[in-house]
Structure 1
Amino acid sequence: MTNSSHLVDALGHSHTAAHDARIVSLVPSITELLCELGLAQQLVGRTGFCIHPKDIVERIPKVGGTKDVNIEKIRKLAPTHLVVNIDENEKPTVERLAEFVPNIVVTHPLVPTDNLALARLMGGIFGVEGAAERWCTAFELEYATLQALPRAPQRTVLYCIWQDPWMSVSKDTYIAAMLAELGWRVPDLGEARYPRFEWSEGLVGQLDAVLLSTEPYRFTEAHADALEKQLGIPVFLVDGEMMSWYGSRALAGLRYLRELRAMVEGAA
């Protein structure tokens, strides 16, 4: 993990044996990864946004959202481990939970290849190293396939995550790093990590395409069609989970990047 993923044993205790771990995950993409690594039975709590894999997570109690966490509900679940993410979860909430959860696992993947460290971190903590390595092998093969594609012309694309107000992503986000794997860059819209912006001729003039994400705002093909007519440049609807979820979904995300490249190049 790039510089920020680590295990903090807040009380200085020795780590719980893997089969005894009681895990609360506040990160939807990592909840899915933990299930893939065979740890569903150890998951005792998850957020309402932890929706994959559907048939498994339906049986795991909800503890609120990624930001509006129910502290007392988590306390009653008596977890040994709490999995959080620097972007998705709020530090004051995590600090309150650290008062009674012995082990806080902090994650912060910034680029697609950080998923290898993420899987190995979870494998090492929870004693499923073999499953983690198998997943890493599959990821490395898919990543090599993506890297082997012929180089394409560099493009500038605006990735939109919200409207009213319109919001995009900065170059230091995981989404921008995914786009960079295709040789695509996002425009500089200021200091914010998820900047607001206004449409202008100057902005549109530097773009090759606009990408409307299906999450967190639920953009649709109708939005894409209307905006394309308005702007006069190609606008595509893209699967937000494939572009922004690390962990298990990142493997499918690498395949999706190849589809996205073909889609955009076909319209160029």
Structure 2
Amino acid sequence: MDARIVCLVPSITELVCDLGLADQLVGRTGFCIHPWDTVRQIPKVGGTKDVKLDRVRALAPTHAIVNVDENTRETADALREFIPQVIVTHPCAPRDNLDLYRTLGAAFDRRIEAERLCDAFETAYAEAAAAAQRRPERRVLYLIWREPWMTISRDTYISQTLALFGWHTVPADSTDRYPEIDVAAHAGHVDHVLLSSEPYHFKDHHIPEVAAAVPGARVALIDGEMTSWYGSRAITGLRYLQRYVDEDARSADLPDSRRRRDVLR
């Protein structure tokens, strides 16, 4: 009998589809939006943090996929009471994607498809690592929220991914994975401030505000899906970031009025 999968992790919902399992996906969160033409047909069961357990139960799933950062422990424990298989994921660095692909490939008999993704990832990773050897290292403040300002710690997937390109996030040490910060306190200590498109959707009009608080740093928008989404999107993400840092290096020599101030597309 085919699996009946409820996925509560947006990036992994996309991965499930890319493994050829879209017809076995019976439930998703409202944030699971890729690939849209496919997932728009699949019932929503709430958000990542406010899962509607009654909706999940009504779908009679055989498997649920959750994530340590995206979902709560209480949700995972509640799902275990009526779902035979609850798969817990927690990629913390780019190469953790290989284990993620293979874990789902083994769980749903998609080993060949998983290995194809592994091969594509290894190629993109090798290209990124080789190119990084030629670039100067940067100190980066990566903002994910406003009011209060919030950033990421170095043990997060985002930070580890940026580090592959020689962009090292601050603070260097933090007891919180997503600490609240005083943006102005980083003035003179960072080369770049990156404003993510998620979970807070920073836009162009936020750039002057941040630039005034951190004079001397280059401030730009960045596509959060390309930095924070593991799974199959990570392959695209590595290539996006390679272009992003290359464009940054080129624009560093331009006059201030011509420097890039919006997300690379």
TM-score normalised per structure 1:
0.90
User: Which residue number in structure 1 is paired with residue 83 of structure 2?
Assistant: 101
Distance 1:183 1:75 in 2: 45
Are 1:263 and 2:247 counterparts?
yes
How many residues align? The count is 249
- Secondary structure of residue in 1 paired with 2:193: strand
- Name the Cα RMSD after superposition: 1.3
Partners of 2:128 and 2:181 lie apart in 1 by 31
Per-residue deviation, 1:136: 1.0
Q: Does 1:154 align with 2:98?
A: no
Worse-matched range after superposition: 35-44 or 227-236: 227-236
1:6 aligned partner: none
Aligned to 1:241: 225
Q: Quick check: 1:234–1:267 contact (8 Å CA) kept in 2?
A: no
Structure 2 residue 95 is the aligned partner of structure 1 residue 113: yes
Paired amino acid for 2:225: E
* 1:267 positional shift: 4.0
Secondary structure of the corresponding residue to residue 38 of structure 1: coil
State the alpha-carbon separation in 1 of the partners of residues 88 and 100 from structure 2.
10
Cα distance, 1:231 vs. partner? 2.9
Q: Which residue of 1 aligns with 2:146?
A: 163
Counterpart in 2 of 1:206? 189
Q: Which runs of 4+ in 1 moved over 6 A?
A: none
Is 2:200 aligned against 1:217?
Answer: yes
Which residue pairs with 2:71 in the alignment?
89
Question: For structure 1, which segment, 128-137 or 228-237, has the greater mean C-alpha deviation from structure 2 after superposition?
Answer: 228-237
Q: Secondary structure at the match of 1:205?
A: coil
1: CA distance between counterparts of 2:18 and 2:25?
12
1:26-68: CA deviation from partner (whole Å, max 9, x where unpaired) = 0000000000110001001000000000000011100000010
Residue pair 2:3, 2:24 contacting (<8 A) in 1 also: yes
Paired residue type of 2:35: P
Q: Name the amino acid aligned to 1:130.
A: I
Q: In structure 2, how many angstroms separate the alpha carbons of the residues matched to 1:30 and 1:155? A: 30
Measured after TM superposition, the shift of residue 187 of structure 1 is 1.4
State the distance in 2 between where 1:262 and 1:251 align. Answer: 17
- Separation in 2 of the partners of 1:98 and 1:89? 14
Q: CA deviation at 1:199?
A: 2.6
Q: Give the equivalent residue in structure 1 for 2:260.
A: none
Picking from 68, 72, 81, the partner of 2:50 is 68
Higher relative contact order (Cα pairs below 8 Å, separated by 6+ residues): 1
Alignment of 1:32-43 (within 5 A): 32-43=14-25
Quote the sequence identity (%).
53
| 1:160-191 Cα deviation digits (max 9, x unpaired) | 00111100000000000011001121112631
CA distance in 1, matches of 2:143, 2:3: 39
Mark the runs of 5 or more structure 1 residues left unpaired by the alignment: 1-16
- Matches of 1:101 and 1:84 in 2, distance apart? 12
SS of 1:148 mapped into structure 2? helix
Deviates more, 1:99-108 or 1:182-191: 182-191
- Report the Cα distance in structure 2 between the residues aligned to 1:248 and 1:225, rounded to whole angstroms: 34
Matched letter for residue 98 of structure 2: L
TM-score (normalised: structure 2): 0.90
For the pair 1:252 / 2:241, whether they are aligned, the reply is no
User: Would you say 1:56 and 2:38 are equivalent positions?
Assistant: yes
Q: CA deviation at 1:153?
A: 1.8
In the alignment, the residues of structure 2 paired with residue 153 and residue 236 of structure 1 have an alpha-carbon distance, to the nearest angstrom, of 18
